[in-house]
Structure 1
Amino acid sequence: MKNIKHFYSLIVLFSLLTLSCRQITQSVDETFHPNDSLVKKYNKENHFGTNGEYTGTTKTSTTTSVQRRQEKTIVINGDTVNTPEMELKAKEMFHDIELLKQQKDPVAAEKIQKRVNDFLKEMKLPQGAKTNIGIEIPAIKAKKRLLSAKELEQAENKLKKLPQYRNKEIIVYESIHFYEDGSINLALQHPGNPKYVDKYHYKDGKWSEPEPVIARNMERRTFPLSEIHFADAQQVIKNYNVKAAQVEGAKPTSDAYITIWDNGMRWNPRSINGSRERYDIQFNNNGTLKSFRQE
């Protein structure tokens, strides 16, 4: 009888430890102890008394070995279960669950659920309903990336529709940066005073308010926005990475930018550095490959 109580305690311990943490107390109650009637039903189906005693068929057999080990088994729903083996596998399961809980993985709860179900199936125990394991896992934000060609085009159109530039030509000053996190930085000639320059930042689908910056060499560092297409940044990155893949030790790029000088524009990056070689790479204004040569 003592061994049977030990088994019952193991089942209870298994239920609690599988969901052990303060953040999932509610899930434990709802999943394993939804109400008294379900508990009574579980006890009845699995031959447990109201005080935790086992009322089913128990078979104890003793085998002789060098260590004179006693093997203990119980019968659940007609299946014979080895209790020492169950205890060992339960410990292994708890260890695996702790490792999964430590992982910063948004699907850790699903993996834990599967590990629990595998244990129950292997031990021929009732699996019941799906466990709602509300483990608190640090949120993992999806890595942001450079805007798609369509999104880049939308950003450009929103810039052109800014109230201060309505019905006015937009002149870009010095550079435009397209970053891998989806943001864009640029500076524009002031719509009311051509001697002034304001910088703008694009993020989460919106352009920021203008901020004044000190401008130098305005006559050599300006270029009309009408001759620039933001979507071409995708073409530049694609062509750059195709060539970078051909150079030993070279790393791909995930962003691009435009520099303006002498009333002209240039796409960047303009060089590919490998572990043994360095290449110069040039692009046309529309992002297509212009030249590629070893330096």
Structure 2
Amino acid sequence: MKNLTQISWLMILCCFLGAGCKQITKSVDETFHPNDSLVKKYNKKNHIGSESEYTGTTKITTTTSTQHYQEKFVVINGDTVKTPELQNKAKELFHDLERLKQKQTPAGSKEIQKRVNEFLKEMNLPQTKIKDAGVEKATIKAKKGMLNSSELEQAEEKLRKLPQYRNKEIMVYQSVHFYADGSIHLALQHPENPEYVDEYSFKDGAWSEPKPVLARNVERRIFPLNKMNFAAAQKVIQIYNEKAAEIEGAKPTTLVYISIWDNGMRWFPSSINGSRERYDLQFNNDGTLKSFRQE
């Protein structure tokens, strides 16, 4: 594993630090062919000159065997790879990686990975996979996204089953927010006193205990839960982001919410702002698109 780790490390350095060819060659020589240093050290210790001349008082007869070892083996951090071509192939590899890096194309990382694996296969070393940071972040973001349709339905069903609202109609007050972290925030008319309102949050599969909030115009700002569909939030965010992708400079949304007024409900966001244009869009209560027009 030592050799694989060092090879991968050097490749990444060459790709992302932008080292020149001269520096790459030096790095290859020092890392993949350290026997030069070993031989020099041995020669110096035993008084052997650069042309294999004897410089001490007693001639050592191991020079030939030491040079023979240097020509046949390459040592990488203590692990010996039996191939005299490793150094040249490594130089070719770094040259190719530098060329691929300069392309700066979306497929560049895949080409780099392919070239690395070709080298490792030639050297009879285990192939590895270069992590794509962009893909990894996207995956993490997807995992933290808004609840899917099934989870939203379950959250709605759990809300209906709250003990304090058993056999009572649940009236939602003012708004319902569906956040990117998978949480839901809303307020409900109090089950006993219609002038009061309590706030609830849904997180980690459960609804919180009620918290009292200061409410105004309660009668005008309530809407029955049985006329809502939490799963429709997925439709709204999907339609919105599909439209935003078609508009120059527009950004996708990670938040959708319901606003309540005059005994009616409306999905938001209701507009898409691009770098050159602005669009208005309206949704039906079930999350389907009602209208889409340029302002």
Q: TM-score range, shorter-chain basis? A: 0.5 to 0.7
- Which residue pairs with 2:19 in the alignment? none
- Which residue pairs with 2:140 in the alignment? 142
- Which residue pairs with 2:45 in the alignment? none
Q: Please report the TM-score for the alignment, with normalisation by the length of structure 1.
A: 0.58
Tell me the distance in 1 between the aligned counterparts of 2:159 and 2:190. Answer: 14
Cα distance change of structure 1 residues 222 and 80 upon mapping to structure 2, 3 Å threshold = closer
Cα-Cα RMSD: 4.0
Q: Please report the TM-score for the alignment, with normalisation by the length of structure 2.
A: 0.58
- Which residue pairs with 2:27 in the alignment? none
> Which letter maps to 1:160?
R
- Identity across matched positions, percent: 59
Tell me the distance in 1 between the aligned counterparts of 2:287 and 2:204. Answer: 24
The alpha carbon displacement at 1:15 in A equals 9.8
- Which residue pairs with 2:196 in the alignment? 196
User: Is it true that 1:264 corresponds to 2:264 in the alignment?
Assistant: yes
Tell me the distance in 2 between the aligned counterparts of 1:291 and 1:267. Answer: 12
What is the SS of the residue equivalent to 1:60? helix
- Which residue pairs with 1:27 in the alignment? none
- Which residue pairs with 1:244 in the alignment? 244
Q: Structure 1, residues 161-209: CA drift from partner, whole Å, max 9, x if none?
A: 1111111110000000011111100000111111111101101111111
* Residue of structure 2 aligned with 1:72, choices 70, 73, 78: 70
What is the SS of the residue equivalent to 1:226? helix
Q: Is the 8 A contact 2:73 2:82 kept in 1?
A: yes
Q: Structure 1, residues 47-77: CA drift from partner, whole Å, max 9, x if none?
A: xxxxxxxxxx95735xxxxxxxxx932469x
Q: Structure 1, residues 109-147: CA drift from partner, whole Å, max 9, x if none?
A: xx9xxx89x76x7667xx79x9xxxxxxxx989330111
- Which residue pairs with 1:60 in the alignment? 67
Q: Is the 8 A contact 2:86 2:123 kept in 1?
A: no
Cα distance change of structure 1 residues 73 and 153 upon mapping to structure 2, 3 Å threshold = same
Q: Is the 8 A contact 1:241 1:253 kept in 2?
A: yes
> Which letter maps to 1:221?
R
> Which letter maps to 1:250?
A
The alpha carbon displacement at 1:17 in A equals 7.7
Q: How many residues align?
A: 204
What is the SS of the residue equivalent to 1:234? helix
Larger helix fraction of residues: 2
- Which residue pairs with 1:38 in the alignment? none
- Which residue pairs with 1:175 in the alignment? 175
> Which letter maps to 1:185?
H
Q: Is the 8 A contact 2:176 2:258 kept in 1?
A: yes
- Which residue pairs with 2:221 in the alignment? 221
Structure 1 segments unaligned to the other structure (5+ residues): 1-12, 19-56, 62-70, 93-110, 131-138
> Which letter maps to 1:281?
L
Structure 2 segments unaligned to the other structure (5+ residues): 8-63, 75-80, 95-112, 128-135
What is the SS of the residue equivalent to 2:70? strand
